[in-house]
Structure 1
Amino acid sequence: MTLSQESFIPYSVTKPKPCISSGVPFPQAVAHHLIHTLKAHKPYLIVSKSISKTQDFVKLKRALNDAEHGLEIAGIRFGISSHTPWEEVLEVVRDARECGADALVTLGAGSLTDGGKVIALVSLYFLFFWSGAVGEVYMEKSRVANTIPIQALANNASTHDELAQLSADEVERSGRKVNPCQVPMINIPTSLSGGEYSSLAGVTDEQSREKVMFLHGDMGAEIVVLDPQLCESTPERVWLSSGIRAVDHCVEGLGYLGREGREDGVEEFRKGLRLLVPSLLVTKTEKENADARMKSMWGVVEAMKGLGNGVQMGASHGMGHQLGPFGVGHGETSCIFLPQVLKFNARHAPSTSNPSHVLDPQKAILSLLWAETPVKSVLEKRGLSQETADAGDVIGAIVDELGLPRTLKDVGVGRDKFDALTKNCLKDRWLATNPVPVTTKEQVREILEMCAGDGK
C-alpha cells in the first residue's frame, strides 16, 4: 500500500529488500510504512545529534507519536559517534530492549546506519515473527512467549566478547550460525554513504582502534526513505565527501571487475558515476537544487547495486577503514586515498600478470567522466587535458573542486600514526583484492607517503 504521489519500488529485481520510498515528505512516509507495511507501532529512533535540533526532527516525532493510529515512540538515541564505537552499539541494544520497541528508525547516515544494522542483528528482546518479505510482519506475542524458545529468535549480545563472536571474521573462523535479523528497520539517509543498501557494517573496537566488519545477508533496512529537501540541512562537507565515497564504490568496483575480467555490475557502476559526479558539482554551487541531490541519491543506489554482484573493493576502501578510527570521516578517507591509489595502481600495473586489466578500467573512467559537460569544464579549468591526464588526476581535480581534503595532513594525521595505520591496514581484506594486490608493509607505506601532504 503506497501513498498518493509516492514512488515505492524494490531495490532491484534480484534483491527486493530494501524498498525505496521517494516523492513524499519523509515523516509521512515513515509513519505510513510503520503502520501499513511493517505492522509496527513502537519504533525506537536513532537520530543524529545535529538533526535532533531541527524542525525536521520535530515533524518526525509528531508523525510517530500518533495515538489515533496506534503509533508511539518507544525511545530515542541521540547520535552514535563516528565510525560506530562498539560500546555505543551495545548501549542502544540494551536501551531498545528495555523500551520494548518493535522497529528501528534511523534518521541520519553513516555511523547511525551501520549501528542500526548491527543492533538489529544482535537484538533479543523483540517478540515477533518476520517472514522476510516487506509487508509480511505480524505480531503474536503470546504465541512467541509460550511456544518458541526466545534464544532462537536473534543473536543475543550484551558484552564486548559476545559481539566479537558475531563479526564477519570470527563467524568465518568458527563456522557459527548467525540467525536472521528480527527487528524491521527504516533508514532515512541524510548523506550519500550508501550503507542503507548494504548487508555489511563496520564497528570500531575502542580497545584496538580497529574497524571490525559484520556481515549477514539479512542485515539492513526493510525500507529506505529518500527526501532531498531534508538533506539540504546536511553540512556541505559531509554531503559532498560522502558522495566521493560513493564515487569510490564505482571506481574501485570497476577496477575489481576489470581485474577479474567480469562484466556484471559494470553498467551499474558507470551509471552511478554519470549520476554522481555532475550532480555533486552542481550541488556545490546550488545547495537547494533538489533535482541534483536526488540524482546523487539515485547514483548511490546504482553504485550499491554494482557492489551487490559479489564485487570486492580495493586499497582505497581497505585503508580508509583503518584511517577512520583516527578521527577521519568515511567520505574524507576516499577523498584522500582514491586519487593516489589509482596512481599507485597505474604505476605498478606492469608488475601484474595482465597490466591491461588494471589500466583499461582507468581509461574507461577517464573517458566516461570527460564526456560529462559539467565535469569536462572543471577539468579543463584546472588545466587538465584528456590526452595527458590519468584517472587519479581526474578524481583529484574533482575532489579539489568540491573543496574537500586531499592529504593526511589536511585531516591532522601525521607520520607518527603511519606505523599503527600500516599494521591495521594489512589486516583489511580489501587490500588483497586491489587491482594491484597490496600485501606488504612497504606497499602500504608507499601509498601513505603519496597521501602525506607534508612535502617530505
Structure 2
Amino acid sequence: MPSGRFTVQAQEAIVFGQPAGSALLAEADRYGAKRVFIISTRSLSRLENGPLQRIVKALGPRHVGTYPAVHAHSPREDVIAAAAAARAAGADLLVAVGGGSVIDATKAVQMCLWLGLESVEAMEPYRGGVAADIRRQIEPPDNPIRMVTVSTTLSASEFTPTSGVTDTKTQAKQSFSYRLLVPRSVILDPAATLDTPEWLLFSTGIRSVDHAVESYCSPLANPATEALSLQGLRLLSLALPRIKAEPQNLKARLDAQFGMWQAITPAAAGAGSGASHGIGYVLGATFGVAHGHTSCVMLPAVLRWNAAVNGERQQALSEAMGSPQKKAADLVARLVAVLDQPGSLRAVNIKRENFEEIAERAMTYGPVRMNPRPIKGPAEVKEILELAW
C-alpha cells in the first residue's frame, strides 16, 4: 500500500491565457500592492515592445523600479544587488519577468528582504547543506513581501519553493528553500514567450520534459504524482514540435505552459528528480552550460543507464509520447533533435578530461543519490557521461 507525503505549495493563484499586464494589475489589486518592483534581464529590457515593456506600461504609476540585470544561473551577487534596489524603492510586491534564473533570483531576493541580508556572505547560513554550526532558519516577518511571476520560458521554477543560486566563488549551485519563497501568483501568458529566443524556449521545454520523466521514474512517485507526470509529458511532446512548426501558435504555447506546470508539480510535491538533474547542476554552475541544455544532453543518457532497472516503467513514458513501440530514451533524443537542440556533451563543449570533476561534484547533489538505479560513486556517474558523450 502506498504511503508518503504530497506537499501542496503556498500559491494562491495560477492565471493562464490572459495578457500578462492586465493579469498582473488584477493580482496587484487583489494583494493591495501599490509599489511594484520588477526583476528581469538585460535581454528583455532591450526589447522595444516585449513582455517587460508591456507590463511596465500596464502598471503605470505603481511601477517603482526595475532591476534588469540577472545573469544565467542566478549568481548571489545579482540577488544582493536586486534586493538592494527593491529595498531602496520601498517595494511591496516583487514581479519576476523572465525565465528560471530570474525567478530563482527573485525568490532569493524575498529572503534577503525578509531577513535584512545585504551581502553575499550574509546569505551563507540559510543555504541547504551548510554546516550545522552556522545554519540558520529562514524566518520571515509578519506579512512578508511576496512575488508574482510572468514566465517567458518553460523552466517551471515558478512552481517550487526552492531557489537555485550560484556561489561564484565555488562555482556551485546552492539551494535556498522555504514554503513562502514560492510565487504567490503565477501568470502564464503565451504571448510573453513570443520574444524568447527559440533555443531558450525549446531547451527549457526539454527541461520540463526532464521534470516529467524523472518525477515519474522516481522511487517516491505515487498514484497522485504519476498522472501529472504523464500528462505533462504528453502535452509537452505534442506542443513543442507544433511551436517549432508554427511559431505564432499561441494555443500550442499555452499547451506547453500547461505541460510544464503539470510536469513540475510532482517534483515539487515530493517525488523529486534524478541523475539528469543532479549532473545538470554541475554542468550549469561549474561549466556554464545553459540550464535547459543540461537536460537535452543528459536525459537520454540517464534513461539508457536506468533502463536496466526500470525498463518496464519507461514503457509508460513511450506511450505518453505517442510511440509505445519505441524506447523512451530514443524518443526524448529525437525530440531534442527535432527542436535543433544539442544532443551530446561534445555539443556543449564538455571535454572528456572534465569527466572526473563532473562526477565528483555530481555526487554532492541529492538528485544523483535519489536516482532510481542507485549511483554508488563517481565511477557510475562517468558511465552516464560516456553515454552522453
| Paired residue type of 1:247 | V
Determine which of 22, 26, 39 is the counterpart of 2:32.
Answer: 39
Determine which of 1, 11, 14 is the counterpart of 1:20.
Answer: 14
Q: Is the 8 A contact 1:38 1:184 kept in 2?
A: no
- Quick one: distance in 2 between partners of 1:337 and 1:23? 32
- CA distances 1:348-394 after superposition (whole Å, capped 9, x unpaired): x2xxxxxxxx2222111112212xxxxx5xxxxxxxxx54x422111
Stretch of structure 1 that moved more, 389-398 or 113-122: 389-398
Aligned pairs (5 A) from 1:252-263: 252-256=214-218, 259-260=219-220, 262-263=222-223
- Quick one: distance in 2 between partners of 1:367 and 1:157? 48
User: Where does residue 60 of structure 2 map in the other structure?
Assistant: 65
User: Where does residue 430 of structure 1 map in the other structure?
Assistant: 367
Determine which of 176, 188, 192 is the counterpart of 1:214.
Answer: 176
User: Where does residue 213 of structure 2 map in the other structure?
Assistant: 251
- Quick one: distance in 2 between partners of 1:270 and 1:58? 36
Determine which of 231, 234, 237 is the counterpart of 1:277.
Answer: 237
User: Where does residue 290 of structure 1 map in the other structure?
Assistant: 250
- Quick one: distance in 1 between partners of 2:11 and 2:370? 27
- CA distances 1:168-206 after superposition (whole Å, capped 9, x unpaired): 222877663321372121100001100001011111111
- CA distances 1:372-431 after superposition (whole Å, capped 9, x unpaired): xxxx5xxxxxxxxx54x4221111111111111011111112123223222211110111
- Quick one: distance in 2 between partners of 1:225 and 1:446? 40
State the aligned residue count.
379
How far residue 229 of structure 1 moved from its aligned partner, in angstroms, is: 1.6
User: Where does residue 179 of structure 1 map in the other structure?
Assistant: 139
Displaced runs of 4+ in structure 1, greater than 4 A? Answer: 12-16, 171-175
| Paired residue type of 1:303 | A
Taking CA–CA contacts closer than 8 Å with sequence separation of 6 or more, which of the two structures ends up with the larger relative contact order?
A: 2
User: Where does residue 280 of structure 2 map in the other structure?
Assistant: 320
Change (3 A) 1:47 1:450: same
Q: Is the 8 A contact 2:240 2:252 kept in 1?
A: yes
- Quick one: distance in 2 between partners of 1:58 and 1:113? 18
| Paired residue type of 1:185 | M
Q: Is the 8 A contact 1:79 1:112 kept in 2?
A: no
- CA distances 1:37-69 after superposition (whole Å, capped 9, x unpaired): 111111111122222122133322222223xxx
Secondary structure, aligned partner of 2:11: coil
Change (3 A) 1:292 1:173: farther
- Quick one: distance in 2 between partners of 1:322 and 1:81? 17
2:97 is equivalent to residue 107 of structure 1: yes
Question: Between the two proteins, what is the percent identity of the paired residues?
Answer: 29
Q: Is the 8 A contact 1:264 1:309 kept in 2?
A: no
- Quick one: distance in 2 between partners of 1:335 and 1:173? 39
Stretch of structure 1 that moved more, 163-172 or 291-300: 163-172
Determine which of 367, 378, 382 is the counterpart of 2:319.
Answer: 367
User: Where does residue 333 of structure 2 map in the other structure?
Assistant: 396
How far residue 16 of structure 1 moved from its aligned partner, in angstroms, is: 5.8
2:74 is equivalent to residue 80 of structure 1: no
| Paired residue type of 1:435 | P
Determine which of 335, 356, 359 is the counterpart of 1:419.
Answer: 356
Change (3 A) 1:114 1:424: same
User: Where does residue 442 of structure 1 map in the other structure?
Assistant: 379
Q: Is the 8 A contact 2:207 2:295 kept in 1?
A: yes
Larger Rg belongs to = 1
TM (norm. structure 1) is: 0.79
How far residue 23 of structure 1 moved from its aligned partner, in angstroms, is: 3.4
Aligned pairs (5 A) from 1:146-157: 154-157=114-117
Aligned-residue CA RMSD (Å): 2.0
